[in-house]
Amino acid sequence: MDVLFDYAEILSKRGIYKQHGVTVKTYLRALDLLKAQNNFNILEYADRSADVFETLSQVVSTQFTFDQTKNLGLDTLKIYQQQVGETHYKTAKIALNIGKLFLKSDTRRQNHEAIEYFELSLMNEKVAPYGLGFLIEAYDRTDQSELSIPYLQKLATFRQAHSYQTATHEPIYVPPPQYPRLAEMQGVEGYAVVKFTIDRNGQVQNLELIDEKPASLGFGRASLQAAEKLKYLPKISEGKFVETLGVTYKYAFKISK
């Protein structure tokens, strides 16, 4: 059994696309053997299963590997819910990781499903800050940006309560801009800088382009469109959410080699 786990780990680290299915099957076989042992302990099994799920989530490349990995995660979540409860760290962590798996998908339906598991992750205070961040992204990717506002405010409040700086001017969600088609066809790289206000809800307002090089190839336009969906933690002053003026963000456009 341990040999199978070791072999599966080696396969997972190779990163070879054609071996991903074998990696999944090997891990699942090892888990089946673990479950069949006479001294089987369901929590120890769940802990090992959670580790395997986290590893497999990194190598999902086909519908088969996605479905097998998803089912493993859901089974593990059910065990934790039954054995240690909804608010336990282990339950919240596996829920968070299941949500992340769904969020990796390009399909709207699976992005929607991610929301349910990120919300489950909020039931543990140690995992909740991470769940809040991913919930914000999930709502934006499912065109429900307005629903992310309470979570932006909750995360800002949490960070302040735990002595973190809230208004860092670093976005917590950055959707990638569309590479301008003409620039891409010509193999031209560039950048653009936008300026805006972060409102009391962590949303971007009053967008303007302040720099673009080279000009007239669409970098500025693409940056303005992407910047509309930037998400920030709203600033808190004297217990109230307030606006932050004059914030800038630079988009760099690089062609993949």
Q: What pLDDT score was predicted for residue 77?
A: 98
Q: What's the predicted TM-score (pTM) here? A: 0.83
- The structure tokens listed for 241 are 């959410």
Q: Reduced to 3 states, what is the DSSP secondary structure of residue 25? A: helix
Q: How far, in Å, CA of 50 to CA of 88, rounded?
A: 14
CA proximity to 140, closest of 206, 202, 60: 202
Q: How far, in Å, CA of 231 to CA of 222, rounded?
A: 17
Q: Are 188 and 252 in contact (CB under 8 A)?
A: no
Q: What pLDDT score was predicted for residue 36?
A: 86
Helices (H) and strands (E) in the chain, counts: 10, 5
Q: How far, in Å, CA of 93 to CA of 218, rounded?
A: 41
Q: What pLDDT score was predicted for residue 17?
A: 47
CA proximity to 115, closest of 145, 91, 135, 131: 135
Q: Are 167 and 235 in contact (CB under 8 A)?
A: yes
Ramachandran area for residue 66 (φ above 0: left; ψ -120 to 50: alpha; else beta): alpha
User: Tens of pLDDT along 127-180?
Assistant: 999 999 999 999 999 999 899 999 999 998 888 777 655 555 789 899 999 999
CATH topology of domain 2-161: 1.25.40
Q: What pLDDT score was predicted for residue 35?
A: 87
Q: How far, in Å, CA of 1 to CA of 198, rounded?
A: 54
Q: What pLDDT score was predicted for residue 130?
A: 93
- The structure tokens listed for 136 are 């914000």
- The structure tokens listed for 161 are 């309560």
Q: Show me where the domains of the chain are located.
A: 2-161, 181-253
Name residues of the chain where pLDDT drops below 50.
Answer: 16-17
CATH architecture of the domain with residue range 181-253:
2-Layer Sandwich (3.30)
